[in-house]
Amino acid sequence: MSQIADPTVVPLRDPTILERMRSATVSLGRFLRGKPLGGSGLVVCVIFILVALLAPVIQRHDPDQIFEGPNPDYKANPTVIELARNPDIGSPVVVEQFIEPSGGHWFGTDKFGRDIWSQVIHGARLSLIVGLGASVIAVVGGLIIGMISAYYAGIVDLLIQRLVDMLQAIPFLVLVLVFTQITERSVLNVVLWLGVAGLAITTRLIRSAVLQVRESEFVLAARVVGASDLRIMIRHVLPNCVAVLIIAFSIGIGAYILAEASISFLGAGPQGIPSWGQMVQAGRGSLDLHPWQTVFAGSAIMLIVLGFNLLGDALRDVLDPRLRGA
């Protein structure tokens, strides 16, 4: 440490945690005021995250619990003909299926007598894990591949770009369907494959950002003073791509949630966990008489995707106005 204190230099000190929190609150407040739509998106996202975290507390019933009630038509010793007319007549209790939304079951019950509210609540967990997880994988992978592609131009770049073209020539849904079939359809695997399928888009976005930064004066200056490739990439290029990374991360989430819902709807989604897409499909069997399962599960998908899209749009406008409308 230097012993001589220079009076003209105001010592820089790290901001305290309190100051940091205050400055974060101020910028959050500015964001909410400047971007009311983005702010409402943020609120929707936060609500869904809270719902997912607190699912066991606010569920009211176990999502797998099958509700049974007394059979109004019960008859102790039914004749064969009565039994043929109504197969349930002989049992004193029946499954309480297709109950309308009421105080006991806020969203009603499904075909198997399970509480739809609890199922929708637990479905939020899967959607959030899938959306956030896949987006992280796609951005991190896209960052590595995009940087390599942009930095080592020439044959490597050309090959990666053609592979990206290949992935984009196949509809995203088909790509996801194929990938998720390769392994066992656990939640983790589905998240992983969704992220891999999303690599094409993030790689392209990040590559073009890196190409732009690479041409800037300060990268040239860094090279002049003899910085290594790796140092230039990490110290100079990467920090200047952070905005694009945040944008790529936030606008992808909604798309991954929709993709998971779609494959679940087609019966090829993750197994052993309540999924909104699968619930929409299950409710379709009795859509005309008992639409509640389809209506509520689908509304949940739309609302969560809406929230993340609004938030992503607002973040993009704030961080990179040039990309507006893209």
Partner 1 sequence: MQGYIIRRIIGAVFVVFLVGTFSFFAIRVLPGDFATASLGLDAGSASAENIAQRKADLGLDLPIGEQYANWLWDTVRLDLGTSFLTQNSVWYEIGRSLPYSIELGVLIMIVGFTVAIPVGLISAIFQDKALDYSLRGLAILALAAPVFWTAAIASLVVLQWDLFLIDVIGQPHLWEDPGRAITWYLIPMFAGGFAGTATTMRLLRSQMLEVLRQDYVRTARSKGLTESAVIIRHALRNALLPVLTVMGVTIATIIGSQVILENMFNIPGIGNKVLTSLFARDNPVFQSVVLIIAVFTVLTNLVVDIMYGVIDPRIRLS
Binding site for partner 1 (CB under 8 A): 162-163, 165-166, 168-174, 177-178, 181-182, 254, 258, 261-262, 265-266, 268, 277, 280-281, 283-284, 287-288, 291, 294-295, 298, 301-303, 305-306, 309-310, 324-326
Q: Which is nearer to partner 1, 126 or 233 (CB)?
A: 126
CB of residue 189 to partner 1, shortest distance in Å: 12
Element (H, E) at 68: strand 68-70
Q: How far is CA 227 from CA 152, 230, 235, 324, in A?
A: 16, 8, 10, 34
Q: How far apart are CA 320 and CA 311, in angstroms?
A: 14
The CB-of-125 to partner 1 minimum distance in angstroms stands at 18
- Residues comprising the chain, all counted: 326
Nearest distance, CB of residue 190 and partner 1, angstroms: 15
Q: Which is nearer to partner 1, 113 or 283 (CB)?
A: 283
Reduced to 3 DSSP states, what percent helix, strand and coil does the chain have, rounded to the nearest 5?
A: 70, 0, 30
| CB of 69 or CB of 285, closer to partner 1 | 285
In the complex, minimum distance from the CB of residue 83 to partner 1, in angstroms, rounded to a whole number: 31
- b/e code 47-69 from CB counts within 10 Å (16+ = b): ebbebbeebeeebebebeeebee
Least distance in angstroms from the C-beta of 195 to partner 1: 17
> What CA–CA distance (Å, rounded) separates 104 from 227?
67
Between 167 and 227, name the residue whose CB sits nearer to partner 1: 167
Of 232 and 301, nearer to partner 1 (C-beta) is 301
3-state secondary structure of 98: coil
